[in-house]
Amino acid sequence: MARQSFARRALRWTIRALVIFVIGSVLWVGLYRFVPPPVTVTMLANAVDGRGITKDWMSLDEMSPNMARAAIAAEDGNFCTHHGFDFKAIQKAMENNFQGDRRIRGGSTISQQTAKNAFLWQNGGYFRKALEAWFTVLIELLWPKHRIMEVYLNLAETGIGTYGANAGAMRYFHHDASRLTRAEAARIAAVLPLPKKREAISPSGFTRRYGDRIARRIGQVQRYGQDSCLK
């Protein structure tokens, strides 16, 4: 009887915790649809390591469209058509990794990266990935694509201690993100996967070649309407 009583109490507490988590996360995501996230776990972790926090929020409407197009070209060509997860890209990434591609590919969409940047932390295993999937579903349900891209481009790390395309533009090119050219936006997008190891100003090697490819793809994104959900 004591064991059954303990099991029932444990079950009740588990259900209560799940209900609180679901309600709390929905309210949190709903709030960030309208309010810029003031700080993230990534920012705090880097600040503790002495890297500081440099950010300057800019609305997507103010930002040069080259930046969103560069992000789509580099990170998520199907951003406007998927509902948070690009299963074809995930399958392709797994195939490339299985075949021994030197650059490990994750297949994460911009929506998934936004969920991770806004609500979670950078490292972690299956538990973090499960939470990321949950928050990805929520932002796709509660935010328009325009807002997902806006939050992504304002939270993504664009350099050591630097967050967002606008702060990145000021750091590398000494003007704000409203004036980003295709080449400049492409260089910032090329930095995003490894912001602590790559520089957008005077890039060399892979970063330069990758930035050049992204710059060429920006025209394709515009021509084929891959950014149509942002207009």
Q: To 5 degrees, how large is the angle CA 192–CA 195–CA 200?
A: 80
Rounded CA gap, 165 and 191, in Å? 11
Rounded CA gap, 138 and 86, in Å? 16
Say which residues have a Cβ less than 8 Å from residue 221's Cβ, sequence separation at least 6: 69, 72, 73, 77, 227
pTM, entire model: 0.90
Q: What pLDDT shows up at residue 104?
A: 46
Distances, alpha carbon 39 to alpha carbons 57, 137, 155, in Å: 11, 22, 9
Residue-level length of the chain: 231
Contact 39, 53 (CB under 8 A): yes
Task: Find the largest Cα–Cα distance for the chain.
Answer: 71
Q: What pLDDT shows up at residue 224?
A: 96
Q: What pLDDT shows up at residue 95?
A: 61
Per-residue confidence in pLDDT tens, the chain, 231 aa: 566 677 888 889 999 999 999 999 999 999 999 999 999 999 999 999 888 899 999 999 999 999 999 999 999 999 999 999 998 877 776 666 555 555 544 579 999 999 999 999 988 789 999 999 999 999 999 999 999 999 999 999 999 999 999 999 999 999 999 999 999 999 999 999 877 766 666 666 778 899 999 999 999 999 999 999 998
How many alpha carbons lie under 13 Å from residue 185 in its C-beta half-sphere? 26
